[in-house]
Amino acid sequence: MELVRLSSDNKIELPSDIAIKFQPDDRFLIATDGETVLLKKAFKTKITDFAERLPDEEPMSMKEIVDAVHECRRERKSKG
């Protein structure tokens, strides 16, 4: 665990050993719980990634759509 500080312009600089794991334009979700701050890398899902998984047959049920979205997210998360 490393000590960082919040600058007067509300920025926190990540320690270099953590920063090298990300790209300069990566986006993050942030949450707080009391004194704890959590950052999580946010992934943009391209609609084309999802559309490629859809069957060409009958329209999908809502459950099938939800399952396909969850599968796509799991795969992206495992790559990230």
What digits encode the pLDDT tens for the residues 10-68? 999 999 999 999 998 888 989 998 889 999 888 776 666 666 666 677 777 888 888 88
Distance CA 7, CA 77 (A): 31
Distance CA 29, CA 9 (A): 19
* Token pair 């320690």 in the structure block, residue: 15
The domain containing residue 69 runs over which residues? 47-79
Residue 1 has pLDDT above 90, yes or no: no
Is 62 domain-assigned? Answer: yes
What global pTM score does this model have?
A: 0.50
Give the residues across from 6 on adjacent strands.
12
Is 36 domain-assigned? Answer: no
Is 29 domain-assigned? Answer: no
Is 10 domain-assigned? Answer: no
Count of structural domains within the chain = 1
